[in-house]
A = this chain, B = another copy of it.
Amino acid sequence: MKTREFKKKLYKQLAVVTKALSNPTRLEILDLIAQGPVPVEYIAEHIDQPVANASQHLQVLKKSGLVETERKGKYNYYQLAGKQVYDVWNSLRAIGFSRNSEIEDLLNDYRSKKSGLKTISRDELLRKMEEDDVYLIDVRPSEEFELGHIKNAVSLPKVELGERLDELPKDKEVVAYCRGPLCLMADEAVRFLKENGFNAVRLDEGFPEWKAIDLPVD
């Protein structure tokens, strides 16, 4: 085999992984299953696509080695194929954030138009947690909360927020988090809480980032 021909084959194989990453819908899927193993139907519902479509994207991700499946009862549970994959996705997202100004603009646009939302960093949250100065809520769907969440967080899914406002303290700062820096549920929760007179902010990251550096989870 000629060297040139070999090289072509080699880089073509390497591009299997990067091609799998090159589609927006699949990136959204990765962001979602970084929360923990979930079945196809759950994924399809949350990315707003037909199940057949979600399945095809998952096959691409699986063939590329980025995603693994495990059968549990009737369902196939899809999850990231190891921490290595999470790290790559995290780095890619960071490059997008730091090098693509349109992403920053989009986020600022969305967040500031919905009223000036404050965010809080991981370190600030840890400090306030030590002083018992915050009430931390996880606004993801309860399925994801049960797969793992920040220690001492209370599950309060965004969709249930309206009818469970009385569970929240008025005298403490309420901190909301969800799937990650791109996840909007926490933003929407904070906006709603502020409209109702609460002192609320969002954590500027989400559960996977927290877990990835081995901070306390349950």
- A-side interface residues toward B, CB under 8 Å? 1, 3-4, 6-19, 21-25, 27-28, 48, 64-66, 81, 84-85, 87-88, 91-96, 98-100, 102-103, 106-107, 109-110, 113, 182, 184, 188
Q: How many chain copies?
A: 2
**A100: chain B residues within 8 A (beta carbon):** 13-14, 16-17, 64-65
The secondary-structure label for the interface of chain A is: helix
Question: A96 and B6: CB pair below 8 A?
Answer: no
Cβ 8 A contact of A99, one of B81, B92, B106: B81
Cβ 8 A contact of A16, one of B66, B84, B96: B96
A23 to B110, CA, bound (A): 32
A16 to B7, CA, bound (A): 25
Question: A99 and B65: CB pair below 8 A?
Answer: yes
Question: A15 and B1: CB pair below 8 A?
Answer: no
Question: A21 and B24: CB pair below 8 A?
Answer: no
A38 to B20, CA, bound (A): 29
Cβ 8 A contact of A24, one of B12, B81, B95, B99: B12
Question: B15 and A18: CB pair below 8 A?
Answer: no
Question: B184 and A14: CB pair below 8 A?
Answer: no
Cβ 8 A contact of A84, one of B6, B81, B94, B109: B94
A63 to B107, CA, bound (A): 20
With contacts A1-B110, A102-B13, A103-B10 known, is A18 near B182, CB below 8 A?
no
